[in-house]
Chain A
Amino acid sequence: MNKKQKKVLVRIIITVIIMAILSFVPAEGYLKAALYLIPYFIIGYDILKKAFKGIVNRQIFDENFLMSIATAGAMLLGEYTEGAAVMLFYQIGEFFQSYAVGKSRKNIGELMDIRPDYANIIKDGVITKVDPDEVEPGSIIIVQPGEKNPIDGIVLEGESTLNTSALTGESLPRSIKAGEEIISGCINMTGVLKIKTTKEFGDSTVSKILEMVENAGSRKSRSENFISRFAKYYTPAVCYGALALAVIPPLIRMIFMGLSPEFTEWIYRALTFLVISCPCALVISIPLGFFAGIGGAGREGILVKGSNYLEALSKAEYVLFDKTGTITHGIFKVVGIHHNEMSDEKILEYAAHAEAYSSHPISKSIKEAYGSEPDIKRVTDVSEISGNGVIAKVDGISVAVGNAKLMERESIEYISCHEKGTIVHVAVNGVYQGHILIADVVKPGAKEALTLLKKDGIKKVVMLTGDMKNTAMGIAKDLPIDEVYSDLLPADKVDKVEQMLSLKSKKGKLIFVGDGINDAPVLSRADIGIAMGMMGSDAAIEAADVVLMDDDPLKVVKAIRIAKRCMRIVYENIYFAIGVKLICLILGAIGIANMWLAIFADVGVMVIAVLNAIRALFVKK
C-alpha cells in the first residue's frame, strides 16, 4: 500500500466508526443533517473538490461529478445515511480498485524482473562492478552463482546450470559450458562463468524483452478503445437521463394527470440512477483484463506486443508454419545407421575420426552422434574430396566417408537408402560398412501442437518451406498438416501469405510462425507474426507481434489459448457490467431500486469485474 492508499484507508475506517455511532444517536432534523455532514466530508472531500475543479475546467461529466451530485442530492432530500453511505462505499470501491491494480502491477513487475543491475567486468585482472550500459562488446565479464547474466555473450570458462524460467517459462535448468552462447537475463545457478560479451547492453536479449513489454500497452485493442469511447459519451448521457427523470415525470403528473408532482420521489430515483450508472467497473476492468492477460502470457515465455494482438490471436483461423526452426529443429541429426555389420558406435567412431578436421554441418552432426571429441592423433593422411566426402587413415586403416559419388569413385559397392535425408556411406579398408542417415528432425512437441491447434478450431494448418518437395512431404506426412508448399524462396512466402490472407474469412486472422531467420517481411505481412526463439534476428523480433522465448511449438497453442481466455474474461466483464447496470437503471427508473441496490450496482459490480479481470493473470498449466 502506498501513502495515498493508507490515507484513504484511515478515512474509510474513521467514517465507518462515526457512521456506526451515529446510527445510535436519536438526532432529528437539522441536528441529524449536521452530524452526518461530518463523515460525509471526511470521506468525500476530495471527490467534491475534484468535481468542483472539473466544472471549473469545463470537464464536467466524470464519476466525481456523478457521485457528488448523487450524494449531495441525497443529503438535500434528507436521506443523510444514504448520502454518506454512497460516498463511503464509492471510496471503498475506489480503494479496492487501486489496491488491486497496484497489486497486479507489482505482480507483473516482479515477473518481468529480469533487468540486471550491474555487470562484473574484468580489466587487467581486477573485477569491478559497473553499469551494464557501460560494458562494450568484447569485454570479459564474470557471472557468479546467483547472479543474472547482464549481457549476451559467449562463455569462455566455466560450467554451470542456468535458470531461464523468467525468460522462457521453462522451469528445467539448462546446462552451459565453455564455447556456448549465453543470453542475458538468465540466472547463473551453480558455477562461476567467465563470459565474453558479443553485444551492447541495449542490444542484448534482456533489453529487447523489457522494451517490448514496456511498450505492450500502447497498442490498444478494439475492445479497449470501445470502452474509452463508450465512457466518453455514456457519462453525459446518463447525467441528462437522470435530469430528465427528475423533471419530466413530475411535470407530466402535474400537467396532464392532475396529480401531485412528487418531486422528492422522482429526484431520489434520478439520484439512484446516477449512482448506478458510474462507469468505473468497465473503465478499469477491461484494460486490467488485457494487462493481466499479457502478464500471464509473459510468465509463460510468450511476449505479446499489445492487447490488439491478444485480441487478434483469439480469432486465429489459419496458422502458417515456416517449417525449419518451428516444426523441425533445423539442425541435422543422425537419425539412423543401416546395413552395418559392425556396431553403431564403432561405425560412428570411424566416421567421426575421418571427418575430424571437417567443419561441414554433416560432419558436425556425425561428431555429435559419436558423443566425444575425435582423437586427432589417431587420424592421418586426410584428403578431402570436395563434393564427395573424405578419405583418411584412422589408426592406420583407410576409411572412406561420403556420398554415393565417393563410393563410385572408390569403386565400392553400396546400398542406397529408401528414407529421406542425407546419406553418408562408410567404407573401412575398402569394404562397405553401411550408411548413416542424417535428417532434419521434427521437434518432439510438433505433432501434439498441430493436433491441438486443429482441436482448438484452427481451420487450416499450413507448412511453408524452402526445401524440396520430397523432403517437405517426408516431414509433413506424419503430421496433421492441411497444406504443404515447398520450394519457396523468401519472396514466395510473402506471396503465399497474401494469397492465404485473401482466402480466409473476414473476421478470422492469419498467424505466421517463423524462427525469425530471414522472415521479417512475412512476419509483418501476416495478421499476427510469431517469432520463435530469442535466437532469431533482431529484425524479426522487431517485425513480430508475438515472440516466443523458447522454440517449443506447443507455445503457439498456449498463446492462442491464453488469448482466447483473456478475451472471454474481457467480454464477461463487458456483458456483466453493462447488463447489471442496465437492469438496475430500469429498476431505478421505475422506483424499485433504492440507493443500496445502486451501491451494489456500482461498487459491487466493479469489485467483481476487477477480481474477474485478475483471473487472466493465472494461466492454466
Chain B
Amino acid sequence: MKKTYKIEVDCANCANKMEEAAKKTEGVEDASVNFMMLKMTVSFKEGYEHKDVMKQVLKNCKKVEDDCEIYI
C-alpha cells in the first residue's frame, strides 16, 4: 500500500535525510520525499498498520532533522 503525506521541512538536504530515515523504518517498503512539493510518499510492507508505522517514521525523522513535521 502506498500513501502520500504532507510534510514541512526547511532545506533540501534535510528532506534527503528524512527520506533516508523513513526508508530505514520498520514496515516501510520504500519512501520518497519530494522537497519541492513538500510531500512524502511511503509504501508499506504487508502486514503493517500504516498509522503505527508512520508514528515511527515521524519519530525517526525528528531524530535526524528536528525541525520537520509530517502531517499524518
Give the interface of A toward B (CB within 8 A).
4, 50, 53, 57, 59, 62-63, 94, 97-98, 101, 104-105, 108, 214-218, 220, 228, 231-232, 279-280, 283-284, 287-288, 291
Contacts and interface: CB of A to CB of B under 8 A. Distances in A.
**Nearest 7 A/B pairs, CB to CB:** A217-B34, A291-B36, A218-B32, A228-B16, A283-B13, A284-B12, A283-B12
B45 interface: no
Contacts of B37: 105, 214, 216-217
Nearest to B20: A232
B34 A280 contact: no
B36 A101 contact: yes
Nearest to A229: B16
11 contacts: A4-B10, A101-B35, A215-B4, A217-B36, A218-B39, A279-B13, A283-B16, A284-B11, A284-B13, A287-B12, A287-B35
Interface string B18-38: 000000000000001011111
A218 B36 CA distance: 10
A216 B41 CA distance: 11
Given A279-B13, A283-B13, A53 B66 contact: yes
Contact of A283 (B11, B38, B64): B11
Interface string B33-54: 0111111010000000000000
Given A50-B66, A57-B64, A59-B63, A280 B36 contact: no
Nearest to B40: A218
Nearest to B10: A98
Contacts of A63: 11, 13
Contacts of A50: 66-67
Contacts, number: 63
Nearest to B62: A57
B39 A214 contact: yes
Contacts of B17: 59, 62
Contacts of A283: 11-13, 16
Interface residues of B, number: 19
A228 B13 CA distance: 8
Contacts of B13: 62-63, 231, 279-280, 283-284
B63 A105 contact: no
Given A217-B35, A217-B39, A287-B35, 5 more contacts: A57-B63, A104-B36, A105-B38, A214-B37, A218-B34
A287 B36 contact: yes
Given A217-B36, A218-B34, A283-B16, A94 B11 contact: yes
Contacts of A218: 32, 34, 39, 41
A198 B17 CA distance: 44
Contacts of B35: 101, 217, 287
A193 B41 CA distance: 38
Contacts of A57: 63-64, 66
Contacts of A232: 16
Nearest to A228: B16
Nearest to A286: B12
B11 A59 contact: no
A104 to B, nearest CB: 8
